[in-house]
A and B are shown apart, each in its own frame.
Chain A
Amino acid sequence: MSAKKLGLKQRYAHMTRGLDWETSYQPMDKVFPYDSFEGIKIKDWSAWEDPFRLTMDTYWKFQAEKERKLYAVIDAFAQNNGQTGISDGRYANVLKLFLTGISPAEYQAHRGFAFAGRHLRGVGPRVAAQMQSLDELRHLQTQIHTISHYNKHFDGISEFSHMHDRVWYLSVPKSFFDDARSAGPFEYMIAIGFAFEYVLTNLLFVPFMSGAAYNGDMSTVTFGFSAQSDESRHMTLGIEVIKFLLEQHPDNLPIVQKWVDKWFWRGHRVLGLVAMMMDYMLPKPVMSWKEAWEIYYTQAGGALFQDLARYGLRPPKYADIATAEAEHISHQNWAIFYQYTHAAAFHTWIPDAKHMDWLSEKYPNTFDKYYRPRWEMWGRMAKEGKRFYNMALPQLCQTCQIPMGYTEPGDPTTIAFRSSRFRGETYHFCSDGCKDIFDAEPEKFAQSWLPVHQIFQGNCGGATIPDVLNYYRLANGADNLDYVGSPDEKLWNEWQADKLKTAV
């Protein structure tokens, strides 16, 4: 009789356990120096379980299959000049922001999980972190490959890597990951694995990518969902991490709670960029940020935190404020970029009448009262030849590094100003959430590289706007300013004219 095939659970046990050993030349604490200083107590590493029970051999098999499917689509898109079939030339700007702001963060996540995969001493989480590290690298690569096709036609894409380390708004996602990666491995796992992947990335990859599909961008929706299919495994890792830490020792609860509070708020701030992409930058909008927040935070997060309450964990601090901000954040962010369009590597525009009506419908409590007048005023000024620019540099939040443009909870007419004193110096924040994060670790955040202050200190190529754009490698007159009048628009109009000619 031939041996019976092993079941999934047995296979997983064989392929993930007993692969490591107790070191003898050096004490374990010296081999794994990073997994104790954060104060997390682990009694039994073998209690870790990956519910997907994915072993390395199956991982390669499925990932190879996903890649084959994805690259077939990317090839087909390029061969058929798919870029001419997107909903409007404006659409390309979400890809510019994605590639400059989000793709380098995938690389940072790859590095972070490689670090966690090296420094956690339990073999189960090590294997899972290593798989995720490879996934994140794959995400970066597939995004570069997909968007490189757009780079043949549209401006603002080619210097994405150089820009990520320098441009003022890209310091927002960069500092988010720098913060996570300079923390210990457990905080990193809670920050990126739990707070970001489980609680927040759905907002980026599901409704936004669905929007890409709706706007005719077959290549982006494919890399997006291909990445997100890894993401459901990452979400599972995130939730396992938190359950594992909370089950191991009661002393872990306050530490984990502090990280959940911190990283929920930091993630919420970073995702404000996505809010603006969904509400303003998709020429054919698919779902408002507020609706997405309702489904993916209020509903899904609500169920999750209800489940985790059995460990004594409560929902993140200021989650109520974040939910209230869902009425405002996309409008406030797009207004920031509209007035600083001269310093951004993508184009901006005023939403047209139809789009504004959509915003009124989706934001009945706020759009007509607070934001429509702003766009109307700017629209009028533009018509008179006095397009509105803000020619001074903005005050930035010391923690999230976003211009301090967010308003007081409950009062959308007044900017929220918060500040703290540390070692004789004042630090400014956009919100209580960002202030709390600073106050818990002022030694870390006093070191923030704030782009505006760096310009003033003379570290960004000079004092004038052309000097700084040069330092950013941002081509003035092509990469920046309004969509209307841009080389992108000219090209798009030529494509449309060609289509008409062919049709006749």
Chain B
Amino acid sequence: MSQLASLTFYHNDDARPVIEAILADNPGVQVLNMPGVVKLDREGDIVIKRTTVEERLGRPWDPQEIHLILISMAGNLDEDDDAFSVSWKHPPPFNRG
């Protein structure tokens, strides 16, 4: 059975580079636009890479800044200095350490 990992963001300027980074690094991600919000879904997992966001943003980006734009999620979450992910896979896409 399908297991969609999901992230929902504000539809605003702060979220745009993160959304673009997700589209670049996660092939097959589905985009659902609702008034004010964007929901991104992908089978199994979604990963946000710090470096990809920084390329678009042109400044250092701390994955914890996601607290300012994230509205909802589905999946087991993992976060460190370089990436942020939600996943239904075991083990998750990058190791807990």
A positions within 8 Å CB-CB of B: 7-9, 51-54, 58, 62, 65-66, 69, 202, 205-207, 209-211, 213-214, 221, 225, 228-229, 231-233, 235-236, 239, 286-287, 299-300, 302-304, 306-307, 310
Q: Given the known A-B contacts A52-B77, A62-B64, are A214 and B71 also in contact in the complex, defined by CB atoms under 8 Å?
A: no
The answer to whether B35 and A306 touch across the interface, beta carbons within 8 angstroms, is no
Please tell me if the beta carbons of B78 and A229 are within 8 angstroms of each other in the complex: no
- Decide: A7 and B79 in contact? CB cutoff 8 A: no
List residues of chain B with CB within 8 A of the CB of A207: 34
Given contacts A239-B76, A307-B3, is CB(A210)–CB(B34) below 8 Å? yes
How far apart are the CA atoms of A300 and B73 in the complex, in Å? 9
With A206-B37, A231-B72, A287-B34: A9-B80 Cβ-Cβ less than 8 Å: yes
Shortest CB distance A389–B (Å): 35
* A275 → B minimal CB distance (Å): 17
Q: Which residue of A lies closest to B3 (CB)?
A: A303
Closest to A243 in B: B76
- CB of A232 within 8 A of CB of B3, answer no
* B61 in the interface (beta carbon within 8 A): no
A304 contact set on B, CB distance < 8 A: 74
Q: Are A303 and B88 in contact (CB under 8 A)?
A: yes
Given known contacts A69-B68, A232-B72, A233-B67, what 11 new A-B pairs fall within 8 Å (CB)?
A: A8-B63, A51-B79, A205-B72, A206-B39, A210-B34, A210-B35, A213-B35, A214-B35, A286-B34, A287-B34, A303-B88
Shortest distance from the beta carbon of B64 to any chain A beta carbon, whole Å: 6
**B76: min CB distance to chain A, Å:** 7
B35 and A300 contacting across the interface, CB-CB below 8 Å = no
Interchain CA distance A99-B2 in the complex, whole Å: 37
Listed in ascending order, the chain B residues whose CB lies under 8 Å from chain A are 1-6, 8, 10, 34-37, 39, 63-64, 67-81, 88, 90, 97
How many contacts A-B (CB < 8 Å)?
Answer: 102
What are the residues of chain A within 8 A of B75 when measuring CB–CB? 303
**Least Cβ distance of A376 to chain B in Å?**
31
- Complex contact A225–B10 (CB within 8 A): yes
Would you call A306 and B78 a contact (CB within 8 A)? no
User: What separation, in Å, do the CA atoms of A45 and B72 have in the docked complex?
Assistant: 27
* Contact status A235-B36, CB under 8 Å: no
A307 touches B88 (CB 8 A): yes
Of all chain B residues, the one with the shortest Cβ separation from A7 is: B81
Q: Would you call B67 and A229 a contact (CB within 8 A)?
A: yes
> Nearest chain-A residue to B78 (Cβ)?
A51
Residues in chain B near residue A231, CB distance under 8 A: 71-72
Give the shortest distance, in Å, between B73 (CB) and chain A (any CB).
Answer: 5
Complex CA–CA separation, A127 to B38 (angstroms): 31
Q: Find chain A residues with CB under 8 A from B35 CB.
A: 210-211, 213-214, 286
Q: Let me know if B36 and A225 touch, CB within 8 A.
A: yes
**Smallest distance from the beta carbon of A6 to chain B beta carbons, Å?**
10
Nearest-neighbor residue (CB-CB) of B8 within chain A: A206
The answer on a CB contact under 8 Å between A65 and B68 is yes
Q: Which of B69, B72, B78, B80 contacts A202 (CB 8 A)?
A: B72
List 4 tightest A-B contacts by C-beta distance, closest first.
Answer: A213-B36, A214-B35, A303-B3, A213-B35
Asked if residues A210 and B37 are in contact (CB atoms below 8 Å), the reply is yes
- Asked if A228 and B72 sit within 8 Å, CB to CB, the answer is yes
Return chain B residues, CB-CB under 8 Å to A307.
3, 76, 88
Q: Which of B1, B39, B74 has the largest count of A CB atoms less than 10 A from its CB?
A: B74
Whole-angstrom distance between the alpha carbons of A391 and B10 in the complex? Answer: 45
Q: Are A303 and B4 in contact (CB-based, < 8 A)?
A: yes
Decide: A306 near B1, CB < 8 A? Known: A51-B79, A62-B67, A206-B8: yes
Q: What CA separation (Å) do A36 and B45 show in the bound complex?
A: 37
8 contacts between A and B (CB under 8 A): A8-B79, A54-B67, A206-B72, A210-B35, A213-B37, A221-B36, A231-B72, A307-B76
Q: Which of A7, A51, A231, A303 has the most CB of B within 10 A?
A: A303
- Evaluate contact between A54 and B64: CB separation under 8 angstroms: yes
Do A306 and B73 form a contact, CB below 8 Å, given A52-B79, A65-B68, A214-B35? no
